[in-house]
Amino acid sequence: MNNDLNESKIAEILRGVLNGGSEYLPLHEPSFYGSEWEYVKDCLDSGWVSSAGKYVELLERKLEAYTGAVHAISVVNGTAALHLCLRLLGVGNGDEVLMPALTFIATANAVSYCGAIPHFVDSDWKTLGICPEKLAVYLNEIAERKGCGCRNSRTGRPIKAMIVMHTLGHPANLEPLLEICEKYGLLLIEDAAEALGSLYKGKHAGTVGTISSLSFNGNKIVTTGGGGAVLTNDDELAYRAKHLSTTAKRSHVWEFIHDAIGYNYRMPNLNAALGCAQMEQLDDFIHKKRKLAEKYKEAFQDVEGISFFAEPEYARSNYWLNALVLDREYTHRRDTLLEILNRQGIGARPLWKLMSELEMYRGCPRMDLSVAEGLVQGVINIPSSAGLINIT
Ligand SMILES: *Cc1c(COP(=O)(O)O)cnc(C)c1O
């Protein structure tokens, strides 16, 4: 076998897909081709830039209409959305929460904010999400049903919930994961920060679990500058999400009555205005991203040592970030490839480091993480902005 990964050839193919040119191609940048200027200007003209104004409501209704979730509650960022999800499900001091080791730091941090402990589980090569088969075997060894929930027999702590993350926009295999949650009495939270508009068997990511979080950070498929949302079909959870995110203030014409220790997580009107304009273009963004993914897939079909990561067969992904996967025998060349691509103006990036390897999470419980470790070594994200495709 030819044991040479041709880094320059890979750079050339990428440039080819991205229409040549020599300008720097960032990993992801937002597109503002719609009513962004008009709606933001409207906020400035009306003076409603902060905690009141019509766009917050409007964004929430747009999110509900788009995803089919019964309730959307907008907040300041995706991390805050996750924190609320966990709080609302009663995750607290000393509880363990199952979550992938392969995720963005926000997932683990939100668990820590509740005084709970992340319990890291492995991923699946085919989906980049939690591997249900491997998790089932592991839980069979360590989890004990107890009352209506379950307990980690090794630490003695309750395992309260599972956070499923849809990596790079590709939905995790939710059905078997839901079954596991039912078997062990766990609540399912979807961290759908990367997956707005992605479908799992026809259902929107973020509408399958009990409660979910979205992010509208500047690098996500839809941005509000900074922002996030909680999605749920449960009326009570939705009411409490809104209440807790707005300092738990009871509505009253002039009196300040706060009936819980809430948070100031409300999304400002200015950000929501940007989000409304972005939501109107979401179908177009997804269309373009899927077109770009198709081009990448075709271009890398016969390239030695590397392949394009395609959506799982049950999914229609938003392809938030496109990814290449190095064959196992070439993973030692990952950093050289990243170095060369970046030197040539292609904003390629690795995945995150595993949470379990970070200083503050090193002591947390975990299962064997060999697949996640392999994915970190093999996956390279490549430029994925919707604006790279010039079609409408
Ligand atoms: C972006 C992201 C979040 C939330 O990020 P914020 O910057 O707080 O909006 C959470 N989880 C994952 C997996 C993400 O990619």
Q: Which atom of ligand 1 is nearest to the CA of 165?
A: 13
| Ligand 1 close to Cβ of residue 81 (< 6 A) | no
| Nearest of 281, 66, 320 to residue 169 by alpha carbon | 320
Is residue 196 within 8 Å of 220, Cβ to Cβ?
yes
Cβ neighbors of 254 (< 8 A, separation 6 or more) are none
Distance 135 CA to ligand 1 centre (A): 24
Distance 230 CA to ligand 1 centre (A): 12
- Residue 290: strand, helix, or coil: helix
Q: In degrees rounded to 5, what are phi and psi of residue 65? A: -60, -40
**Paired strand residues for 118:** 97
Instruction: Kindly report, residue by residue over 145-191, the tens digit of the pLDDT.
Output: 988 899 999 999 999 999 999 999 999 999 999 999 999 999 999 99
| Nearest of 176, 90, 195 to residue 130 by alpha carbon | 176
- Tell me, what's the pLDDT at 146? 87
| Ligand 1 close to Cβ of residue 190 (< 6 A) | no
| Ligand 1 close to Cβ of residue 194 (< 6 A) | yes
| Ligand 1 close to Cβ of residue 165 (< 6 A) | yes
Is residue 328 within 8 Å of 59, Cβ to Cβ?
no
Count of beta carbons in the 10 Å neighbourhood of residue 6:
15
Alpha carbons 84 and 238: distance in angstroms, whole number: 11
- Tell me, what's the pLDDT at 392? 46
- Tell me, what's the pLDDT at 2? 52
Q: Look-up: residue for tokens 């950070």? A: 217
Q: Return the half-sphere exposure (C-beta side, CA atoms, 13 A cut-off) of residue 313.
A: 0
- Tell me, what's the pLDDT at 70? 98
Helix %, strand %, coil % for the chain, to 5? 40, 20, 40
Which of 76, 104, 220, 349 to mutate for ligand 1's pocket (most ligand atoms within 8 Å of CB)? 104
- pTM for the whole structure: 0.96
| Structure tokens belonging to residue 72 | 């959307």
| Structure tokens belonging to residue 149 | 């929930």
- Tell me, what's the pLDDT at 234? 98
Q: Which residues of the chain have pLDDT under 50?
A: 1, 392
| Ligand 1 close to Cβ of residue 215 (< 6 A) | yes
Alpha carbons 339 and 337: distance in angstroms, whole number: 5
Which of 194, 198, 263, 274 to mutate for ligand 1's pocket (most ligand atoms within 8 Å of CB)? 194
